[in-house]
Structure 1
Amino acid sequence: MPAARFDPDPHQEALQWLALLSRPGSHAQQRKAFAQWCQDPENARAFAALQHRPGSVPTPAGRPRPRPLALRRSHWGSLLGALFLLLLAALAFVYWPLMQRLGSELHTSAGERRSVRLADGSTLHLDGASAMNVDLRGRTRQLQLVQGLVDLEVNLDGRALEVQVDDVSIQVFSTRLRLSRYGDHDELVVLNGKALIRQGGDQRLLSAGERVRFDSGHLEAVEKVDTRSLQAWRDGRLIARDLPLQQVLEALAGYRGMRVWVLDAQIGQRRISGDFALDPASNTLDALIADQQLRAYPLLGQALIVH
């Protein structure tokens, strides 16, 4: 390709060479001709001075300046993101009891009843879907009821024994007691001996045959209880004597590993009595729901909505 001819002014020629070489598709013959042109010292100085001059480099033809990206926030994207976070929160809420139970040191599956002998000689009788943590290494033995129901037979080996249920601490002076957790309250029953229960600055001292209910807010008054009916679960039976329907549903649903939400508070407080078989608990639960003329809807196999 013949070399292009330019004006004899080195500065003008340098500008033309710069524009030519900046175009896309410049080939070897053009670069060779440019190298020959730069052999003249005056041409080389003119080209070097042009490169260092601000604003002297022309924009190549056919290559438009890129426009800055305008980021627009989509309302649909924000809505989908919020729905996704809401779904994650709902799944975590529904499956949290199962994850919490599986993460405990001792736990039972839905419908399983198991007895565990501890290293200090004490025995735990765990109901279905129950969980406990145990630490026997210190001078004070520490137990924590995470979920469900447990009968504790204590071996008095000279060390103190404390049971923790959330912010409630129970100092055990007895050889037998029962602890259970329900949806709206927890419960301590002393079967033999004594136990001191503390919550903040409040405390109660229980003797054999006495019960106290408590939640995250306060301890209720101590009351007498028929301990024989409370032990029926170890024989696969639930004996209800004027109990709230909500509590009975929770106990039966626990053998499925499910929680219960009764949408109508008045229905949940309905008092019922009866002798219910726990094995299989699913048949008993369905029969009770039908007998009370209620409807139940399972939720992801982890909960039951009743109304």
Structure 2
Amino acid sequence: MTAEADLRSQAREWLVLLNSGQASAADRAAAERWRQTSAEHASALAEVERLWALLGQVERPAAIVQAMPRPKRRWPLPLATAACLLLALWLTPPGWHADVRTQAGEVREVRLDDGSVLQLNGATSLDWNANVDGERRVRLYRGQADFQVAADVAHPFIIEAGEARIRVTGTRFDVNLLGNQVLLAVSEGHVQVSDADGRERAVQAGEQVAWLGGRLQSLQPLDAARALAWQRGRLVFRDRPLPEVFEELQRQQTQQVLFLDAAARELKVTGVFALNDPQAVLRAIETALPVKLTRLPGVLLVSSDG
């Protein structure tokens, strides 16, 4: 997810909360502070408001510019309809037009014409070009893939994922594009990586590195039990923030997720689950964490409970 898309996502969540009938004066004040953080924040919120107005389902919320208390009420059906329309219009997955795609819950092996083998996690999309100026190129739009790259020194294999750039001639590694971060886990050989600011680094087998907000982070020992768990049919979470957990789950189910408050975003999850049973994760979250999950058609609303 780009920084712009991430801002729009946050703006949608603020607007849903402000129109839910459950927003407190503190929530409205926090939304106003978020809007005033930067011109980009204000623009994202204005764009979301315009779309809501076009939907004709709800009025543009005065709550964003005035902190007036509202009586608590149940979630109105027109608002739920508007939320679903927003999701349909705005959350069309990136890379829907890509050469290679998997559906949510689908894990598939793909053999490229250069002999490389890719294993794709659910809800993954990428483009493949066999020869671009003497290079083999992959553009990963979303999702996660394990790459077994066929050796060819004369034709480097280049992967672009967000702001991350990965260059190899033949090796095995996993690339996970999750929200505004990219995680590279190298299991064989070595990989050259760089970011948009020109930082470069060599990553060896048994190491992993992340890009956060497009910037390369420091090298870490490979946590194969977590980073590669999906290849063994598992989801492994170790003190993972709840938004990241739901991002992982969206690779296994089509339901979209909206957070209604910051407190829910700060909760963390630890556990091991079957990859093909995302409902087990939801049950565990509801049981172990102080959250409320509200299920609407195609949408899951997440809010703190008490």
TM-score by length of 1: 0.65
Letter in structure 1 aligned against 2:96: L
Query: Cα 1:267–1:175, aligned 2, differ >3 Å: closer, same or farther?
Result: same
- Tell me which residue corresponds to 1:122: 116
Q: Which has the larger radius of gyration?
A: 1
Query: Cα 1:241–1:296, aligned 2, differ >3 Å: closer, same or farther?
Result: same
**1:149 corresponds to 2:144:** yes
Q: Which has the higher contact order (CA 8 A, sep 6+)?
A: 2
Q: CA deviation at 1:231?
A: 2.4
Q: Which of 46, 54, 77 is matched with 1:84 structurally?
A: 54
Instruction: Give the alignment's Cα RMSD to 1 decimal.
Output: 2.9
Q: How does 1:39-50 map to 2 (within 5 A)?
A: none
Q: Distance in 1 between matches of 2:119 and 2:146?
A: 5
Aligned length, in residue pairs = 228
- Tell me which residue corresponds to 1:164: 160
Percent of residue pairs bearing the same amino acid type: 30
**1:191 corresponds to 2:187:** yes
Are the aligned partners of 1:124 and 1:150 in contact in 2 as well (CA < 8 Å)?
yes
Q: Which of 83, 88, 99 is matched with 1:105 structurally?
A: 99
Are the aligned partners of 1:111 and 1:281 in contact in 2 as well (CA < 8 Å)?
no
Q: Distance in 1 between matches of 2:209 and 2:150?
A: 23
Are the aligned partners of 1:141 and 1:161 in contact in 2 as well (CA < 8 Å)?
yes
Q: How does 1:177-188 map to 2 (within 5 A)?
A: 177-188=173-184
5+ residue gaps, structure 1, are 1-78
**1:202 corresponds to 2:172:** no
Letter in structure 2 aligned against 1:169: R
Are the aligned partners of 2:237 and 2:271 in contact in 1 as well (CA < 8 Å)?
yes
Q: Which of 268, 273, 298 is matched with 2:270 structurally?
A: 273
**1:288 corresponds to 2:285:** yes
Q: Which of 231, 238, 241 is matched with 2:238 structurally?
A: 241
TM-score by length of 2: 0.65
Are the aligned partners of 2:104 and 2:122 in contact in 1 as well (CA < 8 Å)?
yes
5+ residue gaps, structure 2, are 1-48, 58-81
Are the aligned partners of 2:152 and 2:170 in contact in 1 as well (CA < 8 Å)?
no
